[in-house]
Structures are given as structure tokens and as C-alpha cells.
Amino acid sequence: MKIVAVTACPVGIAHTYMAAENLQKAGEKLGVDIKVETQGSIGVENALTDEDIEEADGVIIASDKEVTKERFIGKRLIATGVQEGIKRPEELINRFATEDVPVYQADLMSANDVKKKKKEKENPIYRHLMSGVSYMIPFIVVGGLLIALALTLGGEQTPGGIVIPEDSFWKKVEEIGAASFSFMVPILAGFIAVSIADRPGLAPGIIGGFIAANGSFYGSEAGAGFIGGIIAGFLAGYITLAIKKIKVPQAIQPVMPIIFIPILATLAVGLLFVYVVGAPVAQVFESLTAWLEGMQGASSILLALILGAMISIDMGGPFNKVAFLFGSAMIAEGNYEIMGPIAVAICIPPLGMGLATFMNKRKYQPAEQQAGKASFTMGLFGITEGAIPFAAQDPLRVIPSIMIGSMTSSVIAMIGNVGDRVAHGGPIVAVLGAVDNVLMFFVAAIIGTIVTAFMVNFLKKDVSGTHKGNNASPKRAEEDASSKTTEITKLTDIVTNDLIHLDLQGNTKEEVLDELIASMKQAGVVLDAEAYKQVVIAREHEGTTGMGMSIAIPHGKSEAVKEPAVAFGMHRAGVDWESLDGNPAKLIFMIAVPTERAGDDHLKILQMLSRKLMDDNYREKLLHVTTKDEAHRLLMEIQ
């Protein structure tokens, strides 16, 4: 018999690996071929393949969080809590031989249905709008770059500006670019409608967008522009959706999506635009365009500040996309000086964080220094997301720094009349000739990058060297600095005899925590005992670290921790730790990790402990040690 399993827990990873270890051991004992996928904080490990699932006679999901079951359709499946996987693994496996385990197939959704359901939770208006924008952007990029290329290589300076001769080859290139621009609004409207009503909405949306962009239908010289395109798209989508819901005779149903729905929806959208919507929207858009073009002095600087802040605050998120859409829409109307400041602001977060890692390596771990190189490269190509790893790890220092840098560069670009003819950003667009006033583009980009780099390095603390409040000797300080980059391969790399306590005296959880923290403070591992204790207590409030089987693994990640360490304590009588199996904790492992190394060391230590402590014989030996050296030798086996 072959079984596949998935283990997961909502907080931490210890229970995930404990359940996986016990299921694997139970499978070996019962002679059952079992493969276990773990879904812990570190991500999915030992992932089940389609072949594994196909060959399996049954599936066990031991999890306290939601695990997608769609891939197990048609398989006998047991879904239970992670504690059952830890305490009763043999019973779970034996159920496939002794019971009629039901096949999972009720109320099932395909993978596409799952994705669709997730999307439905998003704001529908925003989702439909972004769908249209994603299809529109290639037309702006193609049109903008072709026109920029034609002007750069084929343009001639005249008193009225750069002009391409009518009989020139480059005039044809410019016309192709202009043709690409002419599709922008219809494509925007068409794919907004498709997002709402599926393919029947495409024709009404595109035709409605074309009418919106051509004011001749309703007596306007300028047309309703991108605002009209958005309105046309939503009108076409919801009108099509309404027509689709009309009940018709079965004989007519096959031709409804090809003939009746597109014709009726197109007529409705077109006539509404010609007689009701078009002229008022065109007037609004003409006024908006005139207002933006007329912005001078303080008002234009305020706009630049807002756009710079929106671009950088979420690095590719909703605020960033709204500002980007605004700039792209202005390109379509011939106003390039809105996209110019946006194009500069786009590259500042990744360039700034990349430069920061080059300027002061003491502020960043080796992995961050490598990420800095990638971030800088991404910035050159206008990929704002390059700064996300830094912002995710230290948002309070990084996000304000990149915002100030982006806002600074945006204002300089606005004052310097920097324009951008392409819906993209970064030095790449300047190199390709899509930018007006290239010199000021680079001035703005360089200043913004430097502002971000200096600000973030000023706010960040060193991650190596001597720490404030450290009374250790210079020799010890050197050892501390080097230990921060030491690879942890076994538990005794970070456990010394000073951190081993074979007779804890505390009678409560908090008293035991105080004992272990005090030993870490005395050993120079923890700089601020109270600050570290608050982190550990906060973790206990999220959920007990009492794992059952007389084990507790309290842990905390804090800037008060100087280097990764584990303190091991034994309480002969046991102390109440609110363990899930109700047993008192006798073996207590306290993990302390610096914030900047939490992602690597914290998870690695938890994995090592969780796997080894599932061995009954090992726990029994540990409970009977009498000397620190004996305990240390046993702890060397945890790796």
C-alpha cells in the first residue's frame, strides 16, 4: 500500500515537522510506502508530484490550516488536525485497511475555479479596470517606442521643434506608432468588457471604446479619451451581462453569443454614447487635460509629490498601478510631462536600495548584499519590485526612504520638464530615446537614488561589529561578529555548557523563561533581557509552544539578540506549559535569533529540533542525563 500525506500548522513549523516525522516512522513500522509533503513557514518541501498522487492508495491531510484538496480528487482522503498526525499516525494509516474511507469528490472545484474564486474576493471594479489596462499597455509601449525611435533617428530640428520629413522612411515608422496609439482606448474598453461578461463583451467594448475616442460621433473635437474608454468598457460589460441573463427559446440559444448579444449590446453602448454620455464626458476630459497641461509652480510640484509617493509606497501594488494608469492615459492624449516624473520615480526604490548596499555593507547581511546587486539591475530596467525584499524585511526604515527618494526625483523631473512617451520607466526608456529632456531625467534619477540610499543607511543599524551595551571582551566581540555568518549545521554550534541547565527551579512557565533568558544575558547572547522576554511572551500568546510529549520550544526573534543561540533546560518535575496533550514540559529548548537572521536560522533550528525530538528513545536518554557534558554529547546528535 502507498500513502501520501500533507502536514501543516498555522503558527511556526514545529508541529508540521513533528507530524511528518511521526507519519514517516509509522509508515516504516507498518511496512507502508509513505511520502509526506510539509507546508511550513519555509514553504512547501518534499512536494507531492502528480505521479505520487496517481499511484497513492490514500491521502492523509494532517493540518490545522486550509490545505487545497483539488489535486486529490478521486482519492480516498482523511483530513484531520496536525495533532492527530503527531499522536496517532499508525491509526490514521491503518484506517485505509480497516475502514471504508470516502473518496474525495464532493463540491469540488478545478484549479481555475479556485483562482477565479480568489479573484472574486478582490474589488471587482479594480479587477476589471486592471484587466483592460494590462491589454492596453503593450499598445502604448509599441506606439511610444516607435514614435520615439522615428524622432530620434529620422527627425530634423526646425524652429517649431523636431519634424520628420514626409517622404522619409522614418515617417512610416512614426505612422505605425501612431496607429498603435489609436488602438489604446478601444482595447482598454474591450478587455474591461471581457473581464465583466467574457467573450460576448469584446465587440461591444471595442466598438464602444472606438466611439469614445472619436468625438465626431457626438460633436466633440477631442473625444472622451481614456475616461470615456473606461465608461464604455463598463457599460458594454454590464449591458452584455444583462442580455446574457435573458431567457430565450432553446432554438435561439446557440446563436445568442455570436449574433444577438453582440449586436444588441453594441447598439445600446453606441447609442448611449452618441446621445447621452459622449459629449459630457468629452467636456470633462478636455477640462482635465487642460488643467493638467496648465499646471505651473506649486500645483505641478504637488502633483509630482503625490505621483512619486503612490509609485513607491507599495512597489507594484494598487497605489502604484493607479498612478501608472494615470500617466499612461495622459500619453494617449499627448501629455508626456505627467509620465516623465512617474518614469523617474519608478526606478528609485530598486536603484536606491541597490546603491545603499554598495555604500555601507555593514548595514546588510551577505544575502541582502547579493539582493542589492539584483535590485540595482532591475532598477535600470524600471522594475520597481526589485526593492520589495528589503521593504518586506524592514518596512519601517525602507518604505519611508524609498518614498522620499521617489518624491524628490518626481519633483525634479516635473520642474525639469521631463517627458516620457512610453508607459514604462527607468533609464532604459531614456537610453531608447523615449524621454524628453534626457539630462534632467538622469539628474532626477541620480538625486532620488542618492537620497534613498543615504536615508535608509542613516536609519538602519549595523548588523555586524560591536553592539551598544556589549561588555564582552574584544576577542569575544570578534567571535560574535564572525558567528553571525557562521553556518549552523548542528545544534551544538549554538549551544554551550553555559546554556545547559539540568535542574530548572521555576514553578511556572514565566519563571522558567526568566531563568533561561537570564543565562542567555549572562552568556552575552541577549543584550536586553526584558526586550527579548516580551517577544517570547508575545509568541506564547499566539499559541502555546508546548509541543506535547514533555517538550516545549519557546522562541523569539529580536534585535535584542546578538547571535543565534539555544538554551536547553530540564525541569525534573515538569511545569505546566499548556501543551496540546496536557502533559507538563520537562525538556525546554529556548531559541533566540537576531531579527536579521530570522528567516534562515530560526526555521533551521526548529526543523532540527522537531525531527530529532520525535525519537522516543532519544527523549528518554535526554531525560536521564546527569551532567552537562553528557547532555552536550547528546545534543550533538541534533543536526
CA dist 261 and 610 (Å) reads 61
How would residue 409 be classed by pLDDT, with cut points 50, 70 and 90?
very high
What percentage of residues in the chain have a pLDDT greater than 70? 83
Q: Between vectors from CA 623 to CA 621 and to CA 627, what angle results, nearest 5°?
A: 85
Phi-psi region of 465 (alpha: psi -120 to 50; beta: other; left: phi over 0): left
| Residue 487 clears pLDDT 80, i.e. is over it | no
Q: Residue 356, Cα to own-chain centre: how many angstroms?
A: 22
User: What is the average per-residue pLDDT within 202-209?
Assistant: 92
The DSSP secondary structure of 518-552, one letter per residue, reads HHHHHTTSBS-HHHHHHHHHHHHHHS--EEETTEE
**Which pLDDT value is given to residue 59?**
92
pLDDT band of residue 402 (cuts 50, 70, 90) is very high
Write the CB contacts of 92 (distance below 8 Å, at least 6 apart in sequence): 23, 26, 60, 62, 78, 80, 84, 85
Q: Is the pLDDT of residue 205 over 90?
A: yes
Q: What is the mean pLDDT of residues 190-196?
A: 90
Kindly report the average pLDDT of the chain as a whole number: 80
Q: Is the pLDDT of residue 193 over 80?
A: yes
**pLDDT digits 0-9 by tens, 532-560:** 888 888 877 767 788 778 888 888 888 88
- Please tell me the predicted confidence (pLDDT) of residue 403: 93
Residues annotated as part of the active site: 9, 555
The pLDDT value given to residue 159: 55
Q: For the CA atoms of 167, 169, 173, 179, what is the dihedral angle to 10 degrees?
A: 40
Query: What element of type H or E holds 8?
Result: strand 2-8
Confidence grade of residue 204 (pLDDT, cut at 50, 70, 90): very high
What would the pLDDT profile of 583-611 be if each residue is shown by its tens digit? Answer: 888 899 888 888 766 556 666 777 777 77
Render pLDDT for 338-395 as a digit per residue (tens, 0 to 9): 889 998 998 999 899 999 999 988 888 776 777 788 778 878 877 776 786 677 567 7
**pLDDT of 291 strictly over 80:** no
pLDDT digits (tens, 9 = 90+) for 418-468: 988 777 778 888 887 778 888 999 999 999 999 999 999 998 887 644 333
| Rounded Cα distance, 312 and 195, in Å | 28
| Res 55 pLDDT > 50 | yes
User: What confidence tens digit (pLDDT) does each residue in 127-174 have?
Assistant: 787 778 778 777 867 776 777 777 777 777 665 445 788 888 988 888
pLDDT given at position 468? 38
**Local confidence band at 264 (pLDDT 50, 70, 90 cut-offs):** very high
The per-residue pLDDT for 108 is 41
| pLDDT of 488 strictly over 90 | no
Mean pLDDT of 240-256: 82
pLDDT value at residue 406: 93
pLDDT at 289: 58
Query: Is the pLDDT reported for residue 241 higher than 80?
Result: yes
Q: Quick one: which of 87, 81, 20, 23 has its CA closest to 548?
A: 87
Number of residues that make up the chain: 639
Distance CA 33, CA 35 (A): 7
pLDDT at 450 (0 to 100): 95
Residues 6+ apart with CB under 8 A from 194: 131, 201, 202, 205, 237
- Among left, alpha and beta (phi > 0; psi -120 to 50; other), residue 420 is beta
* pLDDT score recorded for residue 465: 41
